[in-house]
């Protein structure tokens, strides 16, 4: 059996259906000069999931993410959107953990500190906006329930001094305009996120915390889209 979403055309069902794992992604937008630029990195070719694709920093939720106490909490609208239709028992601890996972992965993959000046500081989560959510359909080697956060790069304390050796999960990290990104090998979900973000960037702003978030997933064999509001 195959699926009708073009990202997964020709994918076959595994004999064991995989449960999606919680994950988080951070779309960082730099607006300090000229056209807005977005942080992108290329996944290594050896990855089983989306090898060689250009993506935003992000990864799986770790249990430790849910134990970190933030220095400043999420905006109430962002917290409400994260809790909406959360798989399992919805908890604020897990919602904050997803935001903290996006921040941690950005440090691990790009060497950038978000919402803090030192690694040991409690992060400020107030600059994060939930923009999208997407669940990988069945039939893939990995499945994720991914939350896409958007934030201004001004929340980075070491914007021009990343501590990244180039040997991590994301390679060739760069701040790129939408026109430059258009020539890259991108997953369709990344293209979709950028398409939705473009009107905000064209208007000279970022989505606000209370903006509706797109929620995309499979129902049966059909790729559907809902809207999450605060």
Instruction: Considering only residues 113 and 141, tell me which one the structure prediction assigns the higher pLDDT.
Output: 113
User: Does position 41 have pLDDT exceeding 60, yes or no?
Assistant: yes
Contact 127, 3 (CB under 8 A): no
* Predicted confidence band of residue 129 (pLDDT cuts 50, 70, 90): very high
Identify the CA nearest to 111 among candidates 154, 159, 71: 159
pLDDT per residue over 185-230, tens digit each?
Answer: 898 899 999 999 999 999 999 999 999 999 999 888 788 999 999 8
Domains of the chain with CATH codes:
6-228 (3.90.79.10)
Distances (CA, A) of 63 to 49, 74, 202: 22, 19, 38
pLDDT of residue 220: 81
* Predicted confidence band of residue 168 (pLDDT cuts 50, 70, 90): low
Instruction: Considering only residues 148 and 187, tell me which one the structure prediction assigns the higher pLDDT.
Output: 148
* Predicted confidence band of residue 3 (pLDDT cuts 50, 70, 90): very low
User: Does position 10 have pLDDT exceeding 60, yes or no?
Assistant: no
pLDDT of residue 7: 47
User: Does position 124 have pLDDT exceeding 50, yes or no?
Assistant: yes
């Amino acid at each position: 059996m195959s699926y009708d979403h073009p990202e997964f055309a020709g994918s076959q069902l595994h004999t064991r259906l995989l449960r999606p794992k919680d994950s988080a992604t951070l779309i960082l937008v730099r607006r300090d000069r000229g056209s807005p630029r977005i942080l992108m990195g290329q996944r290594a070719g050896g990855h089983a999931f989306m090898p060689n694709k250009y993506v935003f920093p992000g990864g799986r939720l770790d249990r430790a993410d849910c134990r970190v106490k933030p220095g400043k909490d999420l905006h109430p609208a962002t917290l409400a959107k994260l809790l909406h239709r959360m798989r399992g028992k919805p908890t604020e601890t897990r919602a904050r953990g997803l935001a903290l996972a996006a921040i941690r992965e950005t440090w691990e993959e790009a060497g950038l500190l978000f919402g803090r000046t030192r690694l040991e500081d409690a992060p400020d989560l107030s600059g994060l906006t939930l923009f999208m959510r997407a669940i990988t359909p069945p039939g893939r080697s990995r499945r994720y329930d991914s939350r896409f956060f958007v934030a201004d790069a001004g929340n980075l304390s070491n914007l021009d001094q990343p501590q990244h050796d180039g040997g991590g999960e994301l390679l060739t990290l760069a701040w790129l305009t939408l026109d430059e990104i258009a020539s890259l090998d991108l997953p369709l979900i990344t293209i979709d996120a950028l398409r939705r973000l473009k009107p905000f960037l064209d208007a000279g702003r970022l989505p606000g915390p209370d903006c509706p978030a797109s929620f995309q997933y499979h129902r049966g064999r059909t790729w559907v889209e809902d809207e999450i509001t605060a």
